Structure 1
């Protein structure tokens, strides 16, 4: 199959970041950013949502030179979640109006972008009543016959088996891969099961600021293995930004995992984007 090199810039957890801030914190996400084919933002665009901050985020993303820009929400982007309400026992028309205005903004002309096929999800395990939650015993990503024992399947659009997708972007990480916190690893077991089934080329996310990094995961040859049983080994890769990292990936055997959180634990923009050259099928 013929392939073509596609350059991705991957960022996440910008939390109201604007160019100019990074210089104060000795960060590396400064203008001009390198040109890329596809910009991926893995969520947490703002601190708590809000139309004014969404507009600033769109303006910031608009200055990055990319042919295609794909953005998902995160748990901090509360008013993009139609089910989030800080007063769950009351119907709050103001919250509903803010949600509809925020969605219209991201679908409107100032956020206009080209189309692209990718599996995306803003959801992550429930945490402190933030947006886009699911419970730890709920599986959003696997069909009913592939969920772990004791888990409840709530998947409306399960991640397909290999070779159904090449790329995936979620806000939160899968279990035990770039999901470290000072207390424990907090990634999602169901996501690990889904990724091991899909064996896609690139999986990017954010959410866990302190676990920023990139790892090449190798899978066991037996494609019937799921979750931790399918995990074989990993290789840690450093960031070469602003130079691109050329990443050959053995499709079906390896998955490149990227935690792209720009902010550190103190919400300072100290982490660089990831600039990756990946071979994808030519269409």
Structure 2
């Protein structure tokens, strides 16, 4: 069984991948996925240095992407992107706690998911769910800005992806784990950076 190494990123740039970059930092990495709230120049730099795809969804602080999206990167928000047989579904944004782009109510996120019905039907499910915000009740925060989405639980319960990758809840807040599990899906907090290994379809 072939496997791939995926570098997942979120919320804070890593100096080792930007200010102090050297080629060996990305050695062995097959795909890069950003879960949001990262400077567009950071992702553009990685896309230039990395010999592979850089995928992203927007975070709640990524209004600047409307004026200057990351160059050389692929926006997978509300899309199912197929990569080496993997079906990767993206849903960016956070719960709406103030006015601004890429923030949604619970109902709005549900409607964004429902609008993907034909993509989901055609792909026969998903292998990886990529979001910015966490799911409701899975390592989300007690405060309104860090509340998770109920819709993501529905997606996990219906499609059972291998991985659910999100950001938004910074691990330096002190009480958010890097990895947990929900009904067989590995849930990864992509804060700063983390590498996952996933089996590729035959």
TM range, normalised to the smaller chain?
Answer: 0.7 to 0.9
Distance 1:163 1:59, change over 3 A: same
Q: Is 2:199 the partner of 1:279?
A: yes
Are residue 39 (structure 1) and residue 32 (structure 2) matched?
A: yes
Distance verdict in 2 for CA 1:112–1:190, change over 3 Å: closer
Kept after mapping to 1: 8 A contact 2:7/2:194: yes
**1:41 Cα deviation (Å)?**
0.7
What secondary structure does 1:173 align onto?
A: coil
Equivalent pair of 1:160/1:197 in contact (CA under 8 Å): no
Kept in 1, the 8 Å contact 2:109–2:149? The answer is no
Deviation at 1:193, TM superposition (A): 1.4
2:2 is the alignment partner of 1:19: no
Aligned equivalents of 1:199 and 1:190: distance in 2?
Answer: 13
Shift of 1:139: 4.9
Larger radius of gyration: 1
Determine which of 128, 134, 139 is the counterpart of 1:178: 139
Which segments of 5 or more consecutive residues in structure 2 lack a partner in the other structure?
75-80
Secondary structure at the aligned position of 1:191 is classed as: helix
> Which one has the bigger helix percentage?
2
Normalising by structure 1, what TM-score? 0.55
Distance 1:6 1:21 in 2: 20
Superposed CA RMSD: 3.3
Tell me by how many angstroms 1:195 deviates: 1.5
Aligned to 1:77: 62
Q: Could you tell me how far 1:166 is from its partner in structure 2?
A: 0.7
Aligned length: 184
What is aligned with 2:109?
140
Question: What TM-score results when the alignment is normalised by the length of structure 2?
Answer: 0.74
Verify: 1:215 aligned to 2:185, yes or no. no
In structure 1, how many angstroms separate the alpha carbons of the residues matched to 2:51 and 2:181?
25
3-state secondary structure, aligned to 1:118: strand
Task: Find out whether 1:130 has 2:105 as its counterpart.
Answer: no
Alignment map for 1:63-212 (pairs within 5 Å): 63=49, 65=50, 67-80=52-65, 99=66, 101-103=67-69, 106=70, 110-111=71-72, 116=83, 117-136=87-106, 138-141=107-110, 153=111, 155-158=114-117, 160=120, 164-181=125-142, 186-209=147-170, 210=173, 211-212=176-177
**Secondary structure, counterpart of 2:41 in structure 1:** helix
Deviations 1:11-43 (A, max 9, x none): 1112xx3626999xxxxx975424211111101
Partner Cα distance (1:130, 1:212) in 2 = 28
Mark the CA change 1:60 to 1:175 in structure 2 (over 3 Å): closer, same or farther.
same
Conserved 8 A contact 1:175-1:185: no
Secondary structure at 2:97 match in 1: coil
SS in 1 for 2:68: helix
After alignment, is 178-187 or 206-215 more displaced?
A: 178-187
Could you list the runs of 5+ residues in structure 1 that have no partner in the other structure?
24-28, 47-53, 81-98, 142-152, 219-253, 263-272
Displacement, 1:129?
Answer: 2.0
Q: Measure the CA separation in 1 of the matches of 2:159 and 2:199.
A: 17
